[in-house]
Amino acid sequence: MWASTSTGVVVSSDPGRILLLGSAHVVDLSGPIRERLSAIPLQAVALELDAERAAVLEGPSGAAPKRPGSVPLLIRFWGTLQRRLGAELGQGAGGEMRAAAQFAKEKSLPVFLIDDPFNLTIRRLLGSLSFPERVRLLAGAVLGLVIPARTVKRELDHYSETPTDYTDQIRSTFPTVARVLIDERNEHMAGRLEEMWRRGIRQIAVVVGDAHVPGLADALRKRQLPVETVSFGQLRSPATAP
């Protein structure tokens, strides 16, 4: 079981840095992520996961939660879409998280799970969504079930070139989603990374969805922590690999 524990962490006097690696949960970035992790000294790896989602990812690739009936219909639609695209575009949804966790295991590094519990996040989201946002989300999820993977890949190529356009569109179309799923989680994850930093764990690689990278970096800088970022587009480009 991946654990958010400090067992085995060697406290360092090095000034350190927090490296944010931006991923797309349905794209196979295991090779580029391993290369980036191998290129720097590390005390720990942190993942945009909670214990429940980590347990799911430790199972068969792209596995669904064991109790799907307990998950709201809207979220089940989006989960099904993510698993399908993960299987078609990479090594299964969450493959980049598995790769980072495996790297940490090979190097005897602790893995910290820094995200909010999934169920609490979903409750916050569903309790805050306006009716129009619910309808748009459900329609998007249903449409996504029949969109060809090649179309999604083309959109990911566009996202790599102009990520701000996409996040701006999310904020315009789904303001509650942006606040609950991006902004609030960024603050919570930054707080957990700050706690690690205060405990002397200062060489940290963090794997998160690319939409989190700018806001999480800003939240860490506000806490006066040194941050470096590698975007999804940079990870996908061989020319920018170390």
pLDDT single digits (tens) 209-222: 999 999 999 999 99
Task: Please report whether residue 9 resides in a domain.
Answer: no
Higher pLDDT, 134 or 195: 195
pTM of the predicted structure, to 2 decimals: 0.79
Question: Residue 20 pLDDT > 90, yes or no?
Answer: yes
Compute CA distances 140 → 133, 134, 136, 156, 174, whole Å.
10, 10, 6, 16, 12
Task: Please report whether residue 201 resides in a domain.
Answer: yes
- Sort strands 17-23 and 227-230 into parallel, antiparallel or unpaired: parallel
Higher pLDDT, 100 or 135: 100
How many CB atoms are located within 10 Å of the residue 126 CB?
14
Higher pLDDT, 23 or 219: 219
Mean pLDDT calculated for residue range 219-240: 87
Higher pLDDT, 207 or 126: 207
Q: Write down the pLDDT at residue 95.
A: 82
Domain count, the chain: 1
Mean pLDDT calculated for residue range 88-115: 84
Residue 87 to residue 149: CA distance in whole angstroms? 10
Q: How are strands ordered across the β-sheet holding 203-209? A: 111-113, 44-47, 203-209, 17-23, 227-230
How do the residues of the chain divide into helix, strand and coil, expressed in percent and rounded to 5?
60, 10, 30
Task: Please report whether residue 7 resides in a domain.
Answer: no
Compute CA distances 42 → 12, 33, 141, 221, whole Å.
10, 14, 38, 20
Q: Which of 8-22, 46-60, 67-81, 132-146 has the lowest mean pLDDT?
A: 67-81
Q: Which of 102-106, 172-176, 199-203, 216-220 has the lowest mean pLDDT?
A: 172-176
Q: Which of 76-85, 90-99, 165-174, 231-240 has the lowest mean pLDDT?
A: 76-85
Task: Please report whether residue 11 resides in a domain.
Answer: no
Mean pLDDT calculated for residue range 47-63: 77
Task: Please report whether residue 3 resides in a domain.
Answer: no
| pLDDT tier at 11, thresholds 50, 70, 90 | low
Does residue 102 sit in helix, strand or coil?
A: helix
Query: Tell me, what DSSP letter sits at residue 71?
Result: S
Task: Please report whether residue 12 resides in a domain.
Answer: no
Task: Please report whether residue 117 resides in a domain.
Answer: yes
Domain that holds residue 60: 17-240
Question: Residue 85 pLDDT > 70, yes or no?
Answer: no
Question: Residue 144 pLDDT > 80, yes or no?
Answer: no
Question: Residue 107 pLDDT > 90, yes or no?
Answer: yes
Task: Please report whether residue 4 resides in a domain.
Answer: no
